[in-house]
A and B are shown apart, each in its own frame.
Chain A
């Protein structure tokens, strides 16, 4: 049995005729790390909130741990961990108190939570901040605290909405490391991101979401193989010369506002052809194809605009 099964899942918010999630289907198996990759407004958070059993689907079917979240929301939420997009930590309370209070919400005892919070703070590398008010924590520390908080009930499924957005590279790597550990411990991870590298690093499988729909689904490798070539040559030309250059090059070329992308299995050979064609790009870079390219191919738009 899949841990999560969605079919034709939809979400429209009351008072709007806009469809935030327009009929998506996916399955998540136990122990997987499953990702939703998509730009702003794709419907990632809307989907996550339905999975967290705090938002009623407007259509389609959703089963979480075999149950209907609308009917069994309370029992299901007891088995989920949620890291919302905005941390929603309590700034008035200390780091430790944030964990204790959240544990009490789950019906755990104060005694249990005293021990559990120490363990979680150790895990989140926040033990030395236990008595400090959350107000005084950096963004990266707050994010780790939010993850620690989501673990108070030893959840089977952890829902992470943009776990590393807004963090510096070092803070991201610490966080990724913690998520790897959770995954090795058998926790099923479901996360959203707009970072390609994050999806490639963390996700066993992912769906690419755009405008409330799933554009494609697979492992990072499968998606790259299916939609792009192994390598990509990025070329920059002076303004106005891009179109001409693209025509001259022919082949599999994507024109972006600021650069050209040539898809090729052998990037160096492709670059040689550029030179042979008499083109003189301002800069040229051969790199491996990424999910970013997949997204571009699928939607015709760049993810980070």
Chain B
């Protein structure tokens, strides 16, 4: 698995500076905009805290989720398709499972680096009460990305036409991104929609990040969120072992 990861690190060597700059600039702009301007439009507090404090961990979770979909979805589909990265790798002793594992580790690393940059910016805004809180939120955001990444990779390796990825991005990922309690509380949604959002991964990720950041987390809900995301990650890996093998050993 680390052998397959090495390949992605070689590629990353050439592009990491650029991606880190984007990962820092993006949250910086958003938090500045919310803190300085938009936040004051939101009257009073949301769930008892200033809007910036409510917004930042939600945005962190949403960004991790979205980046994971892009890396695992488009990244995996092109590695199997146009770039033929996987076909090259399975001609060596590596198994399809290791090839998938290596790529997922890399996606996880990218999600982690993105979240680290975001958390650092949040710390700059004084949004954490302690460094322990910051670390907990960082890990929560990483899990929020890795869990769907595994499932998305397991599916994306079977996708040969990119437009389908775009469709899913637009009609599945974007609605989740916006309505999972990321930018406003799920409780403002109609009851039926609320129930749906509670069943989806990003709500668990966003609530996990936010409750940890605000210090409102209870052991029960934290365990529930972590278990949900953990099971999703494991399920993704198990399904991926099957789909990767099927696609790469034709």
Contact = CB atoms under 8 A, between A and B. Distances in A.
Interface of A: 13-14, 49, 52, 54-56, 74-75, 77-78, 82, 84, 86, 88-93, 97, 100-102, 104-107, 153
Contact of B93 (A14, A77, A100, A101): A77
Nearest to A76: B93
B94 interface: yes
A286 B89 CA distance: 49
Given A75-B93, A93-B11, A107-B3, 8 more contacts: A54-B91, A55-B250, A77-B92, A77-B93, A78-B92, A86-B84, A102-B92, A105-B89
Contact of A101 (B6, B87, B90, B91): B6
Contacts of B84: 86, 88
Interface string B87-108: 1111111110000000000000
Contacts of A84: 87-88, 91
Contacts of B62: none
Contact of A54 (B3, B83, B90): B90
B135 interface: no
Contacts of A54: 87, 90-91, 248-249
Nearest to B13: A97
Contact of B3 (A89, A90, A105): A105
A101 B7 contact: yes
Interface centre among A55, A82, A92, A105 (most CB of B within 10 A): A105
B92 A101 contact: no
A238 B72 CA distance: 62
Contacts of A89: 88
Contacts of A105: 3-4, 7, 89, 92-94
A104 B11 contact: no
Nearest to B11: A92
How extensive is the interface on chain B, given as a class? 20 to 34
Nearest to B90: A54
23 contacts: A13-B250, A54-B87, A54-B90, A54-B248, A54-B249, A55-B249, A55-B250, A56-B249, A77-B91, A77-B93, A82-B91, A88-B87, A88-B88, A92-B11, A93-B10, A97-B10, A102-B92, A104-B7, A105-B3, A105-B89, A105-B93, A105-B94, A106-B93
Contacts of B83: 90-91
Interface string B193-220: 0000000000000000000000000000
B14 interface: yes
A128 B90 CA distance: 29
A56 B91 CA distance: 13
B226 interface: no
Interface of B: 3-4, 6-7, 10-11, 14, 83-85, 87-95, 248-250
A92 B7 CA distance: 11
A99 B91 CA distance: 14
B18 to A, nearest CB: 14
Contacts of B11: 90, 92-93
Nearest to A97: B10
Contacts of A153: 92
A54 B87 CA distance: 9
A55 B11 CA distance: 28
6 closest A-B pairs by beta carbon, nearest first, are A105-B92, A88-B84, A82-B91, A78-B93, A104-B6, A88-B88
Nearest to A14: B250
A89 B85 CA distance: 8
Nearest to A52: B91
